[in-house]
Each structure stands twice: as structure tokens, then as C-alpha cells.
Amino acid sequence: MIMALLRVCRRRLPLWALVMTVVAVAVPAVAARAQGGAAGCAVTYTTNEWTGGFTAQIHVTNLGAALNSWRLEWTYGGDQQVTSAWNAQVAQSGSAVTAANVAYNAVLGAGASADFGLQGTWRTADPAPAAFALNGTPCGGTATPTPPTPPTDPAPAGCAGATICSDFEDQTGTEPSGAWQTTAPDCQGAGKVSVDPSVAYSGTRSLRVDGGAGYCNHVFAASTRDLSSVGPVVYVRMRVRHTTALPTNHVTFVSMPDASQGGKALRVGGQNGALQWNRESDDATLPEQSPAGVALSTPLPTGRWLCLRFQIDTTAQSMRTWIDDGEVAGLHVDGVPTQNVDGQWLARTTPPRPTGLRLGWESYGTGDDTLWFDDVALGSSPIGC
């Protein structure tokens, strides 16, 4: 959790600057811990926030005697309203929230922890809760920010040595060249990829995609690298910026040829306004496109650079996805079918085997967008933001 907090901070700042940022902002994570020798609990509450909405991951540790069932309570200081939850039953009355165990995580032994998450909305403020209580026992009164500690498992933001490590600064023409080649699977129309010398996350250049609505405007810049031997887990990190909220209709902006689908694509894009994974061969989606499933994903914020990370296990059905280091609960395949999340995805048991990376735009109906990609990295080891 602390790692996640630290990684929110921008790269290139020295550690002291990261710490200062954390202290000054005091979000997204706070921890409340038992004071003195009193038995109680410790809670870490980590949020991923966007205008009007948030997700929170809650990690609760039982510091008292073993519990056969548990109930974590807190009060929101802002106008947060919980709309859905996973791995706990969450109820809200006014600003008071109660999260109760579900059947499979009811037992919480002494020293044991449980993790659950929720999604909600907010209008004016979204501060982390100041205090928690586990089965009525306070976790420690006034919350104190988690003391900054050096990361113990840093995923380096740099990507030297990775199979793909591209900041596009070597792209001096207006068209992608060298390690990136323009491609338009299926059919080509008004969609366009180019090198933008005036918009960048790093340096002065990025890859720009003018994505057009309509099926025949598919266009991508494809990495020339063969990814067939990357793994067993494929880690991807990229900076993305775009102008238009994800549409209701299905769109794709990352497309990976997948040997397990006979070369058809494993795709990252959107549907119903939220991020989703899609499998071309059977059109399975992650999350399932039910209202509850969509609510477990997240819109793709517009008008700013964000950090998209994901990992794909090529040996088992397991995928995880992060936006700005907040994990997106609805974009998590864990191998056990979960209704609204990966139930449909796990109808297929063969894990994906990406062999290439394409960045661009596919619309299958309405939906156009202008996107920029920068600092794109892919390799066999975790790559941080």
C-alpha cells in the first residue's frame, strides 16, 4: 500500500520530494493503527480518485483475538457515496459506512488480514476516513498518515533492457518509422497515426493517434518487436493522454496479436464509458458489461497524461490492470470466475500469448478520439510508473 502511495508521485523527483508530496497531499492512503497495547486493528485505505468518482482498496488487519465474522465501520468526512463493493458487503447510512465480511473471508484470525474494495461517487470532497473500528473496537482513534518508508519492492520506472522501451524521441519524421510501423488491420480509412513533436510526457515527442469513428478507420502504430518469448508474465507500462471520454460503443486503443487466439487480438479499450479488456476471438469482455461490472471499472480520464499499466500471465488466466497505480478491480482476472468481473473471460481456459503490441484506435461504430502515447515499455519484469 505504501508502495502504491509512493508510486503515485511523478517520476524523476528525488525521494525527499516524493515524501514531501505524500505528506502535503495526505491522500490517497492513510493508515489507522491501534494505539498503545490495546488490541484492535490496523487499516490501510488506498484510493484511486477521478472527478466525481473513486475506488478504494481497504486492507484490514486484526490485531486482536480471532474473529469468526467481522465488521469494519468508518465515517466519511466528505460527501462520498458508496455505489458498489467487492469482497465485502458494504452498507452506507448518511456518512456512516459498514463493511461486513462475505462468506469466504469471514474468519479473520489473530494477526490475519482481509482485503476488500469499493467504488463510489463524490461531488465536493473525497478525504480518506479518519478512523475505523473493527467489530466495534477502534483501530486507533485519529488516523495518522502512513510514515513514508523506502520502497522495498520498487518497480523501476525506467525500462532500459526491456523488450520495448520507447519514448519516441528517436522518431524524427512525421510518420512512425524504425521500431514503430503504421498498420491498419482489416481496413483503412480516416484514422491516422503520427509523431507529434509538440505534445509529450517525456522529452518533446509522442505518438499521436487521430482515431475516427466507423469500422473502417482502424489504424495503429505497431512495434516491430516480436514478443513471443517475453514472459512468463508480460508487463506493460505506458503513458496515455486523450481528449474524448470513452464512448458507449466498443473501442480499442491497445491491440495485441495473441497466438492463443490464432493471431486475433487481445485488446484494451472501452465500452459503456469505462475501460475494458476484450478478446477478439470470442468477444469476451472484462469486466462483464453488466451495470455492476462496468461500475467495477473506471473511465479513462481525459486531458492529462495518465499511467496505464497491466500484466498478462501467459501460463495461467491471470491479468491485472492499473491506472495511475490504482488497481482497477473490474480489470482483474484471478482465475476464479467472479460474477460481473471475469466470469465471461474465464469461459476460455487457455491463457493469452501476446506476440506484438499495437497502439492506435479501432472503433466498431460510433466513437472517435485523439490520443497520445509516450514512454511505452514492455518486458518480463515489472515496470513502474
Contacts to Ca ion by CB under 5 A: 167-168, 200, 202-203, 205, 374
CB of 315 to Ca ion, least distance (A): 33
Q: Which is nearer to Ca ion, 86 or 201 (CB)?
A: 201
Q: Which is nearer to Ca ion, 147 or 203 (CB)?
A: 203
Half-sphere exposure of 57 (CA within 13 A, CB side): 18
CB of 377 to Ca ion, least distance (A): 12
Q: Which is nearer to Ca ion, 79 or 170 (CB)?
A: 170
CB of 197 to Ca ion, least distance (A): 10
CB of 72 to Ca ion, least distance (A): 44
Other C-beta atoms lying within 10 Å of the C-beta of residue 193: 27
Q: Which is nearer to Ca ion, 130 or 199 (CB)?
A: 199
Supply angle C-alpha 285, 289, 292, rounded to 5.
130
CB of 378 to Ca ion, least distance (A): 16
At 109, list the grid cell: 484470525
Query: In whole angstroms, what is the distance from residue 117 CA to residue 81 CA?
Result: 14
CB of 207 to Ca ion, least distance (A): 9
CB of 203 to Ca ion, least distance (A): 4
CB of 171 to Ca ion, least distance (A): 9
Q: Which is nearer to Ca ion, 33 or 237 (CB)?
A: 237
CB of 256 to Ca ion, least distance (A): 22
Question: Over the chain, what HEC string results?
Answer: CHHHHHHHCCCCCCHHHHHHHHHHHCCCEEEECCCCCCCCEEEEEEEEEECCEEEEEEEEEECCCCECCCEEEEECCCCCEEEEEECCEEEEECCEEEEECCHHHCCECCCCEEEEEEEEECCCCCCCCCCEEECCEECCCCCECCCCCCCCCCCCCCCCCCCEEECCCCCCCCCCCCCEEEECCCCCCCCEEEEECCCCCCCCCEEEEEECCCHHHCEEEEECCCCCCCCCEEEEEEEEEECCCCCCCCEEEEEEEEHHHCCCEEEEEEECCEEEEEECCCCEEECCCCHHHHHCCCCCCCCCCEEEEEEEECCCCCEEEEECCEECHHHCECCCCCCCCCCCHHHCCCCCCECCCEEEEEECCCCCEEEEEEEEEEECCCCCC
Q: Which is nearer to Ca ion, 122 or 253 (CB)?
A: 253
Q: Which is nearer to Ca ion, 126 or 167 (CB)?
A: 167
Q: Which is nearer to Ca ion, 156 or 197 (CB)?
A: 197
Q: Which is nearer to Ca ion, 85 or 200 (CB)?
A: 200
